[in-house]
């Protein structure tokens, strides 16, 4: 069964120009994401969907297979599901579709593997971290959830890092998140989804803290 990761990485970004080529911990976000995905044990191939030659160059240099994205899928309001479907159209053998986000620099290979391992008992899965905040899927449904009971109950927030579903279901439902959604705890305990320059600076500071921590799966260029 072929399990393929698609990393959406277009060149345009209104809030952070050149966002996917910004460096955190000595690596660009796109390089960091590709390296992490390639280290996951359950991943067969990593595809990078982009419209940007500079991103394509970086991707190819670290074993990310470039899928050129057409202009219609590179707009500000384009949803992620059509981008993943377009990339996987080039891989008819794919059975399990994984979407990984460059904007989650603390994602680890274990996060990816854990979300994939949950899939047999769910329709789709995603990584979560402790915390408040709402996250809605492309159908407009809230996919946050609570685990535990009574005093042990904990609110989980979508980590924004990795999403998994079967390719056939992705095509049918046009969404990475649908049906019974399995929530896989991330190996890092905080939320980090880079959306502005302040997020990048915070990520740089946290990367320094992780260099001597148990989160040694996070790649850091010295």
pLDDT over 60 at 5, yes or no: yes
Q: What is the mean pLDDT of the chain?
A: 84
Segment 196-216, tens digit of pLDDT: 888 888 888 887 666 544 444
Task: For 42-88, write each residue's pLDDT tens digit.
Answer: 999 999 999 999 999 999 999 999 999 998 988 888 899 999 999 99
| Average pLDDT of span 159-174 | 94
| Spatial contact of 99 and 8, defined as CB atoms under 8 Å apart | yes
Q: What is the pLDDT of residues 6-39, one digit of tens each?
A: 999 988 777 778 889 998 888 899 999 999 999 9
- DSSP reduced 3-state for 107: coil
Alpha carbon of 69 to those of 40, 164, 190, 202: distances in Å? Answer: 25, 21, 32, 30
**Least confident window among 20-34, 97-111, 134-148, 169-183:** 134-148
**Domain range list for the chain:** 2-210
- Given a contact cutoff of 8 angstroms between Cβ atoms, the answer to whether 99 and 162 are in contact is yes
Q: State the pLDDT confidence band at 189, using cuts at 50, 70 and 90.
A: low
- Is the per-residue pLDDT at 222 higher than 90? no
Tokens of 96: 């399990």
Contacts 24+ apart (CB under 8 A), 141-147: 141/177, 143/177, 143/181, 145/181, 145/183, 147/183
> Structure tokens of 41?
């044990």
Q: What angle do CA 173, 179, 180 make, to 5 degrees?
A: 150
Phi-psi region of 13 (alpha: psi -120 to 50; beta: other; left: phi over 0): beta
What are the φ/ψ torsions at residue 96 (nearest 5 degrees)? -115, 125
Question: Which of the following CATH numbers is that of domain 2-210: 3.40.50.720, 3.40.1110.10, 3.90.550.10, 3.20.20.140?
Answer: 3.90.550.10
Q: Which two tokens stand for residue 207?
A: 């990367």
CA distances from 70 to 58, 59, 111, 142 (A): 19, 17, 30, 30
pLDDT at 49: 96
Is 50 exceeded by the pLDDT of residue 152? no
Question: Percentage helix, strand, coil, to 5, in the chain?
Answer: 30, 25, 40
Question: Could you tell me the CA-to-CA distances from 135 to 66, 142, 145, 149, 160 in Å, in that order?
Answer: 29, 6, 10, 22, 9
Q: Which of 164-188 are b and which e, b meaning 16 or more Cβ less than 10 Å from the residue's Cβ? A: bbbbebbeebebbbbeebbbbbbbb
């Amino acid at each position: 069964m072929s399990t393929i990761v698609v990393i959406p990485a277009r060149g345009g970004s209104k809030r952070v120009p050149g966002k996917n080529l910004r460096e955190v911990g000595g690596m660009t976000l796109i390089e960091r994401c590709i390296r992490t995905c390639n280290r996951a044990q359950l991943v067969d191939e990593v595809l990078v969907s982009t419209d940007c030659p500079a991103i394509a160059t970086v991707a190819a240099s670290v074993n990310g297979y470039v899928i050129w994205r057409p202009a219609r899928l590179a707009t500000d309001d384009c949803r992620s599901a059509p981008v993943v479907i377009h990339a996987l159209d080039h891989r008819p053998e794919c059975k399990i579709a994984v979407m990984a986000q460059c904007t989650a620099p603390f994602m680890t290979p274990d996060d990816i593997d854990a979300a994939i391992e949950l899939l047999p008992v769910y329709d789709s899965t995603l990584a979560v971290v402790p915390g408040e905040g709402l996250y809605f899927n492309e159908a407009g449904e809230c996919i946050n959830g609570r685990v535990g009971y009574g005093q042990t109950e904990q609110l989980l927030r979508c980590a924004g890092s990795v999403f998994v579903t079967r390719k056939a279901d992705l095509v049918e439902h046009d969404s990475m998140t649908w049906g019974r959604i399995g929530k896989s705890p991330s190996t890092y305990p905080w939320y980090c989804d880079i959306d502005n320059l302040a997020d990048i600076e915070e990520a740089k500071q946290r990367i320094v803290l992780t260099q001597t921590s148990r989160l040694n799966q996070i790649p850091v260029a010295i």
